[in-house]
């Protein structure tokens, strides 16, 4: 996702300096004109606005701290826009460290997939100071048409977690419907076609529902990443006293998927877990 964002920024005429732990993964962007930096610190020192996207909270802290971390390269007038889905509490604490250096930090996770990004339909939610948001808003609009300031630091992450928990819950409910129809005598292909054109056909169901017929060769969002977000949701639910029963159920199915060796597959593999439990094979 991060690489494709860089590609879109280059398409829109932006000068981009980038870093990845594995340079070979960024070579196609270097070939397109992205300037290469050897450390996160070097990126932040070279630009006014830094966008970061990493896999989890631990990875964010790893690239943030230390002599070659992002914080070391930040200073007055600079803005760090972290687009990772991580712990709101940790992100808020990091934002306070950034402000101590005279810079600003925004949490700006995205809603969408690689497909929606390539179609120019990505949605970005942003938490942090309003002035910093207005400064980077034009840049974020080059990534997608919907950019929303939701409040203070950490609140965009809360909104992203509140959004993502529904992805696994919807996929589980969709799988239940397909299998109920299939075991009653309706062909799987027919059930998928009807459901993806019915009242329950959210955008997520429309583009991920067909995965129950054929899983993608490369995961759009794997089990490991999805469960990370579900655990963030359950943690937040406990903190603010909101019970999340459907989130908990979907999370258990993701645990089963891990146990069955599906961790690197798209989280739509929840269907295969439920199918196995139902005694259904292709």
Catalytic residues: 160
Alpha-carbon torsion (173, 179, 185, 187), positive or negative: positive
Provide Rg for the chain, Cα atoms: 20
Do the Cβ atoms of 55 and 86 come closer than 8 Å? Answer: no
Q: Which two tokens stand for residue 264?
A: 């690197």
């Amino acid at each position: 996702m991060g690489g494709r964002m860089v590609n879109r920024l280059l398409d829109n005429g932006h000068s981009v300096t980038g870093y990845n732990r594995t340079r070979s993964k960024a070579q196609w962007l270097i070939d397109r004109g992205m300037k290469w930096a050897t450390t996160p610190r070097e990126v932040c020192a070279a630009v006014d606005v830094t966008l970061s996207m990493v896999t989890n909270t631990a990875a964010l802290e790893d690239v943030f701290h230390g002599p070659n971390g992002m914080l070391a390269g930040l200073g007055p007038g600079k803005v760090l826009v972290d687009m990772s889905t991580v712990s709101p509490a940790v992100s808020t604490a990091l934002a306070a460290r950034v402000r101590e250096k005279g810079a600003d930090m925004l949490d700006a996770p995205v809603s969408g997939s690689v497909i929606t990004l390539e179609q120019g339909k990505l949605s970005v939610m942003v938490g942090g100071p309003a002035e910093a948001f207005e400064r980077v808003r034009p840049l974020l609009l080059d990534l997608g048409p919907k950019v929303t300031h939701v409040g203070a630091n950490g609140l965009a992450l809360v909104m992203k977690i509140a959004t993502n928990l529904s992805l696994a819950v919807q996929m589980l409910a969709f799988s239940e419907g397909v299998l109920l129809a299939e075991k009653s005598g309706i062909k799987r292909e027919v059930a998928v076609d009807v459901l993806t054109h019915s009242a329950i056909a959210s955008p997520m169901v429309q583009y991920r529902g067909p995965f129950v017929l054929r899983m993608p060769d490369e995961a759009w969002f794997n089990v490991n990443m999805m469960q990370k977000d579900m655990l963030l949701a359950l943690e937040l639910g406990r903190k603010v006293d909101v019970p999340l029963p459907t989130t908990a159920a979907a999370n258990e199915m993701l645990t089963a998927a891990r146990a069955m060796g599906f961790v690197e597959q798209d989280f739509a593999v929840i269907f295969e877990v439920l199918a196995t439990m139902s005694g259904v094979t292709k």
